[in-house]
């Protein structure tokens, strides 16, 4: 399978949101990546349910919703209602992760689990057979435009080896600091989905940047 590209709408121009969504629609991107932050789990606040509902009306590609919030279980049904196709929660935010994954899948969404840079993939051992996606954060969550953390490569490689050994089929996603300089290496060590924000929306030609990210 060729790797997937999921532009992070957090880096887009919210004053021209419809135009930014249409750009992604026309591009070689595969998903829209939507970061939801509550100012508690991470030190920032981003868009919420109304914005996702608006994006869904225009988007013609799956919505990959990444919840950086405390107690995500309270909102699973809401995110389904506004159009989430993939719903990712943080390992660090869930007291009963297995139950949360089950609830997401019972709502006919793909279930993802994200881990912060300091969190070991070994802690995911008991849920790897249940999830559709593991999101490895390659920056500390909360703000766009951060520098890529180099030890992410070894985490992806380790997770990929476990996936192959146990014949699991979850996707490995990397989120944070992804650009044209590290795309090839990320794919080579096992990444399936690349989330790219600033490197896409701050570039001179986002359509061309997405094309290069997809075909590198």
Residue whose C-alpha is closest to residue 59's, from 84, 25, 87, 83 = 25
Measured in degrees and rounded to the nearest 5, phi and psi for residue 2 equal: -70, 145
pLDDT at position 145 is 59
**What crossing angle do the helices spanning 49-58 and 17-26 adopt, rounded to 10°?**
50
pLDDT at position 48 is 83
- Is 0.85 surpassed by the pTM of this model? yes
* Catalytic annotation present for 85: no
Which of these is catalytic: 35, 38, 64, 132? 35
Which of these is catalytic: 30, 64, 132, 175? 175
Q: Which CATH architecture has domain 4-215?
A: Alpha-Beta Barrel (3.20)
Q: How distant, in Å, are the alpha carbons of 1, 32, 154, 194 from that of 68?
A: 28, 16, 24, 18
Average pLDDT over residues 2-16: 94
**Average pLDDT in the chain:** 93
DSSP 8-state secondary structure symbol assigned to residue 38: B
Per-residue model confidence as pLDDT tens digits over 156-191: 999 999 999 999 999 999 999 999 999 999 999 999
Give the residue, 210 or 47, on which the prediction is more confident: 210
Contact status, residue 142 vs residue 159, Cβ threshold 8 Å? no
pLDDT at position 3 is 97
For residue 215, pLDDT beyond 70: yes
Average pLDDT over residues 127-140: 95
* Catalytic annotation present for 192: no
Q: How far apart are CA 81 and CA 83, in angstroms?
A: 6
Q: How distant, in Å, are the alpha carbons of 75, 114, 215 from that of 131?
A: 19, 11, 27
**Unique residue bearing structure tokens 């019972």:** 106
**117 CB burial (10 A radius; 0-12, 13-18, 19+):** middle
Cα 134 from chain centroid? 9
Per-residue model confidence as pLDDT tens digits over 82-107: 999 999 999 999 999 999 999 999 99
């Amino acid at each position: 399978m060729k790797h997937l590209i999921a532009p992070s709408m957090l880096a887009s121009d919210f004053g021209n949101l419809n135009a930014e969504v249409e750009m992604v629609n026309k591009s070689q991107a595969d998903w829209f990546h939507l970061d939801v932050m509550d100012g508690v789990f991470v030190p920032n606040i981003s868009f919420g349910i109304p914005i996702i509902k608006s994006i869904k009306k225009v988007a013609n590609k799956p919505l990959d919703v990444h919840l950086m919030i405390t107690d995500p279980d309270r909102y699973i049904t809401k995110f389904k209602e506004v159009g989430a196709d993939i719903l990712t929660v943080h390992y660090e935010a869930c007291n009963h992760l297995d139950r949360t994954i089950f609830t997401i899948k019972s709502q006919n969404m793909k279930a993802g689990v994200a881990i912060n840079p300091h969190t070991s993939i070994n802690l995911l051992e008991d849920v790897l057979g249940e999830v559709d996606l593991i999101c490895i954060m390659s920056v500390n969550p909360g703000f766009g435009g951060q520098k890529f953390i180099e030890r992410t490569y070894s985490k992806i490689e380790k997770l990929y080896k476990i996936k192959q050994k146990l014949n699991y089929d979850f996707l490995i996603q990397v989120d944070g600091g992804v650009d044209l300089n590290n795309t090839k290496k990320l794919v080579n060590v096992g990444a399936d989905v690349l989330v790219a924000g600033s490197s896409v929306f701050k570039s001179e030609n986002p359509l061309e940047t997405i094309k290069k990210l997809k075909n590198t």
